[in-house]
Structure 1
Amino acid sequence: MYWVKEMQNTIAFIEGRITEDISIEEISCSANTSSANFKRIFSIVAGVTVGDYIRYRRLSLAAKDLIETNYKIIDIAIKYGYETAESFTKAFTRFHNATLSAVRRKKSTPKTFEPLLINIDIRGGFVMRRKLIPNIPELQ
């Protein structure tokens, strides 16, 4: 279960730097593994690539900022790593299926993409005997 703790620590590393320009090399280094190995393991565990995870988290947080603050759209775009308002608008609209103005005016509910939490639940581990019951009467 050591890998679960390492993965949670790496997710915390990503979350702590979500508004910064972080590379896969920095992330994999924090996980004490190679970039290729980390990308493979992360996508298996999370169900999304590292890049998509970061993008979805940023767009989710950007929607929160859009609703809760009066920051200019370009300021929110830059905060979450977009160089232009146009690229931010395009990514935001694709992810949330809503325009920036609709979300800001609360006419549309944005998607939320919460931080990944790995929870392992192991059950079973016992042997069951199989017994066939012949001619079960039908229930009426």
Structure 2
Amino acid sequence: MREEHKEAVQRMLEFIDEHLSKPITLHQLAQAAQYSPWHSARMFKETTGMAPFTYLRHRRLSEAARRLEKPEQKVVDVAFDFVFDSHEGFTRAFSKQFGMNPNEFRQHWNEFVTNRAARRTTTPKQDSEGETTMKTVFVQVVDRPERKAVVKSSQKATDYFSYCEEVGCDVWEVLSSIKEALYEPVGMWMPENLRRIGTGEYMQGVEVPKDFAGIVPKGYDLIDLPACQMMIFQGPPFEDEDFEEAIAGLWDVMKRYDPTFYGFTWADEDGPRFQMEPLGYRGYIEARPCKRV
């Protein structure tokens, strides 16, 4: 792993330690890391072996356990101090991590502290809450007019993470500053017939009107996109830290989806397949070119 990635993860760890008793979001961790939310979460897991919020839960529970060693501390107060929504939720999480509920821990904490090192070497297992089965996916077909796109190309990237490794993760901010944009920035898998020779399949960009005459940022390209139809898939809402599972679940749906059942066929050379920023409140959204049979 690059040294700058290790430093980014260290910044996230420090942010977590400084805000254990406050709500923490993936976007806050990404700001601390100075990378995008997607890339920050991936780097964190590769370095620590845990997803950011799995690590956060373990840190909070460990600090809660220290607090419970003091007999004057009420369990419910400790639960709320470490951002658990309820006494019951805290007790379930505590029991899962330490093998005993908070009151049992308080009664036997001397023995527990003696054996704590052995207990904490156990690798946590993902429970059923981490399943990636999609419940409801909304699908619609929209018409995209003839237009252009301001893009930052790669040389060989094929997905978001290889793109960040090659190009960096500061592209979104530049694209978001283009006032003439028709829609929000997206990650694009550009078909070979529409991309410049020598550029990679995956790039980031924003669509602009076909008569766009604005300033193209240095290092970016302006490409033509023909009119096409897009089949847009939108998955159900998810917790922000579970974005990888949400993407994988939607990809599984798209892989098995048969557009001919509805009178369409895929038309991958008509435009870029694109993914929108995975925001939990709206569900993961991805689109693929299509046309009527």
C-alpha displacement of 1:8: 1.4
Report the RMSD for the aligned CA atoms in angstroms.
Answer: 1.7
Amino acid in structure 1 at the alignment position of 2:27: E
Quote the residue 2:107 is aligned against.
105
Query: Any residues of structure 2 matched to 1:66-105 within 5 Å, and which?
Result: 66-105=68-107
**Quick check: 1:92–1:100 contact (8 Å CA) kept in 2?**
yes
String of CA shifts for 1:43-75, please: whole Å, max 9, x gaps: 111101001000000011111100135211110
The range that moved more, 2-11 or 69-78, is 2-11
Give the structure-2-normalised TM-score: 0.37
Q: Compute the TM-score of the two structures, normalised by the length of structure 1.
A: 0.74
Of structures 1 and 2, the one with the larger relative CO (CA 8 A, separation 6+) is 1
Q: Which runs of 5+ in 2 are unaligned?
A: 121-293
Aligned to 1:15: 17
Task: Please say which of residues 67-76 and 12-21 is displaced more in the overlay.
Answer: 67-76
Return the alpha-carbon distance in structure 2 between the equivalents of residues 52 and 78 of structure 1. Answer: 18
1:55-98 deviations in whole A, cap 9, x for unaligned?
Answer: 00001111110013521111000001112111111111111101
CA deviation vs aligned residue, 1:84-133 (integer Å, no higher than 9, x gap): 111111111111101211211125516576xxxxxxxxxxxxxxxxxxxx
- Structure 1 38/89 Cα, relative in aligned 2: closer, same or farther at 3 Å? same
Count of residue correspondences: 113
1:25 to 10, 27, 30: 27
| Identity, % of aligned positions | 24
Are the equivalent residues in 2 in contact too, given 1:67–1:106 (CA < 8 A)?
no
- Partner residue, 1:126: none
Structure 1 gap segments, 5+ residues each: 114-140
Task: Give distance in 2, aligned partners of 1:25 and 1:53.
Answer: 16
Asked if the contact 2:79–2:86 (Cα under 8 Å) also holds between the matched residues in 1, the reply is: yes
Corresponding residue number in structure 1 for 2:56: 54
Letter aligned with residue 109 of structure 1: F
Whole-angstrom CA distance in 1 between matches of 2:102 and 2:40: 34
Partners of 1:8 and 1:68 in 2: CA distance: 30
Instruction: Please state which structure has a larger fraction of its residues in helix.
Output: 1
Does 68-77 or 12-21 show the bigger shift? 68-77
Higher strand share: 2
User: Which 4+ runs in 1 deviate beyond 4 A?
Assistant: 110-113
The structure that has the greater radius of gyration is: 2
